[in-house]
Chain A
């Protein structure tokens, strides 16, 4: 690890003033410290956010939105009964990520800002097609080899229209989580659209997001039952009125450099009676334009099936015991719909 200096500001103003070129914000450190050990990132200054006031609350604002302070822990958010009751698929996504230890240390802002995992992404001038190409993005890159966004949490956030509150030297701004991630290029290696020196203060879910609570699932498919990144995932939710879908949301994870929300599939579902055929058509639409890179055709098929099954599970209803347990091949039979 390269040497750095370490500062512990006690106000947002102090934190912004401590920023210098080459600095990094430190949340729980579960991603940043790991990358510093490999040398993939080498900040000259770490700005520890843990002492910043007013960034640890989960609150419902006057307009009905839910505001989550940047330093709220991943475990804390997923296990908050009110939050998990209103946004079950967000809780389910968080709890399907990483391990108990990592979720305890990780902050929500650190989660949405986490770096892509692929080893080649971290090395200088390395060739993505030289390594394991199986996990490369199949959407949103125009066929160029690119890493996927690895966050589970961001997938339901995008489905529900969440927003990031940001402060920087020029004041504050909001951006949708859907516009937070980008594909790094040779000229601009950033994996997010934040300008260096900008700080996330909070995440916000709009008032209508809680309306999906009764039919809301996050499905994650991975190499092993637990403690692995997604091969594919999907957040699906709907409001069902008089037996018809009044509104649906569908976002795929681990297929593109950002969570992949599919408005066409959502439009198609509106007004329909939930059922396998209409879900299959929606899942087909969701993968429209997908291109295999380096032989990962399987990912396109798997993502389509993941979307289909997530829609099916959402229509069946949010299980009483949330989060549902990821199904284990060794596990006992359960009545509740199981993860893949």
Chain B
């Protein structure tokens, strides 16, 4: 069965004909839309490597059928930086060694962006670790990841306060 959907991906409107409704958002991004930044780890919801934002919320793209996304807004790791200016979470991952091999990193960063927007963890390290537990890191860069999320949270909060003033 084929199906047409329209969605926005990283700010660009896309009309897509799905020739097979079984395709997940993850496979659509990687195989069809030349956006391989989103990674496939387990393909079962267990590792978080495939995390993207759908309508502003972090989800596992491996468990999301593309067919359900007509009208949705999707943000992937490719959509975070503004030109050469990295997103504060990307910058913080660089500065705090929030990775080693880098395979889990796009998922970690997208998950952190989602977590910060949810606003329940603040810069509390324990709550950040709990909030990031859906993202596994085989290189065990957890310490740097937690510090990066703390730092990015503080910077983004300060920036928001400045913008509001």
* Interface, chain A (partner B; CB < 8 A): 1, 3-6, 8, 26, 28-30, 33-34, 37, 46, 48, 50, 75, 79, 98-102, 104-105, 225-227, 325-326, 328, 331-332, 334
Contact = CB atoms under 8 A, between A and B. Distances in A.
A29 B51 CA distance: 15
B98 interface: no
A100 B114 contact: yes
A100 B58 contact: yes
A101 B59 contact: yes
Nearest to B70: A8
Contacts of B48: 99, 101
Contacts of A3: 1, 20, 22
Interface size bracket, B side: 35 or more
Chain B, interface SS category = mixed
B139 to A, nearest CB: 18
Interface stretch (B7-15, B84-92, B125-133): B125-133
B67 A100 contact: no
Given A3-B22, A4-B22, A79-B120, A100 B63 contact: no
B41 interface: no
B133 A33 contact: no
Contact of A332 (B3, B120, B126, B135): B126
A326 B63 CA distance: 26
Task: From A33, A100, A104, name the one whose CB has the most chain B CB atoms within 10 angstroms.
Answer: A100
Contact of A6 (B1, B24, B133): B1
Given A33-B65, A48-B68, A100 B131 contact: yes
Contact of B60 (A79, A102, A331): A102
A37 B44 contact: yes
A30 B45 contact: yes
Contacts of B126: 325, 328, 331-332, 334
B6 interface: no
Contacts of B135: 99
Interface string B16-52: 0000111010000000000000000001110010010
Contacts of B45: 30, 34, 98-99, 101-102
A101 B130 CA distance: 12
20 contacts: A4-B22, A5-B21, A6-B1, A29-B63, A30-B60, A34-B63, A46-B65, A75-B118, A99-B48, A100-B58, A100-B111, A100-B118, A101-B48, A101-B134, A102-B45, A104-B57, A104-B59, A105-B57, A328-B130, A331-B129
